[in-house]
Amino acid sequence: DIKGFVFDLDGVITDTAQFHTKAWSKLAQQLGVEWSDELQNGLKGLSRMDSLELILTTGGKENDYSATEKEKLATQKNDLYLQFVKTITPADIFPGIKEFLDELNQQGYLMSIASASKNAPTVLSKLELTDYFEHVVDPNTLTKGKPDPEIFIKAAEIIGLKPEQCIGLEDATAGISGINAANEVSLGVGSPAILTEADMVFEDTKEITLANIKAKMNS
């Protein structure tokens, strides 16, 4: 039986994915790396350094920068990202998500955050959702990023559940792969054409309710 929900943050609870995209595409342009939908989708869910590596590799520039220079580039991206984060308010929670969290609380489901982002606590606080998520996996403790299942296994562990008792929500293909490899039920948020590996997909966050999830699980 399902007893808990493991949430990705960026692109599931709020549209910070758009801010990551803006900040990374600006850096890519500066580095002379061509931006594409494929690169944009591939970056979703990757850690900051893995994201930078993917951008550099895409442009054939993986050997052009020292570790120190890469750190600087990553910091530059994060500084710009944080400028966007400053503007976030509770009105930026995706439609229906707050209602869904309340429904989960009322029905006694456990929940945790499995976000690759080191900025997740800041974003949760801007959204005034900190009280909903007592349990957040610290990405600094991970040995491998998404698509590795580690973060999703830990997110189940911190709420005292086995992965099989959890549904994982993700907007990224790397995240869906991780949830599946962790043996959780994968719920994709976004386009079914992109999230082909997910057990179920919701294009609109308003549709994410316990009743709709149960209906999809039984179909």
Which residues line the annotated binding site for substrate?
Answer: 8-10, 24, 43-48, 51, 77, 115-119, 146
Only segment of 5-13, 82-90, 96-104, 135-143 that touches Mg ion (CB under 5 A): 5-13
Measured distance CA(203)–CA(157) in Å, rounded:
28
4, 7, 10, 27: which one binds Mg ion (CB under 5 A): 10
Q: Burial, 95: exposed, middle or buried (Cβ in 10 Å; 0-12, 13-18, 19+)?
A: exposed
Residue span 181-210 as binding mask against ligand B16, x where in contact by CB under 6 A, dash where not: ------------------------------
The strand order across the sheet containing 110-113 reads: 110-113, 4-7, 166-170, 185-189, 200-202
Amino acid letter for position 153:
I
Measured distance CA(12)–CA(187) in Å, rounded:
10
CB of 23 to ligand B16, least distance (A): 9
Catalytic residue list contains 102:
no
Whether the CB-CB separation of 155 and 176 falls below 8 Å is answered with: no
Give the position of tokens 């595409």: 25
CB of 52 to ligand B16, least distance (A): 9
Q: Which does 43 bind (CB under 5 to 8 A by kind): Mg ion, ligand B16, none?
A: ligand B16
What are 38's two structure tokens?
């494929």
Region 146-185 residues binding ligand B16, contact defined as CB under 6 A: 172
Catalytic residue list contains 79:
no
Region 44-73 residues binding ligand B16, contact defined as CB under 6 A: 44-48, 51
Q: Which residues bind Mg ion (CB under 5 A)?
A: 8, 10-11, 171-172
Report, as residue numbers or ranges, the catalytic residues.
8, 10
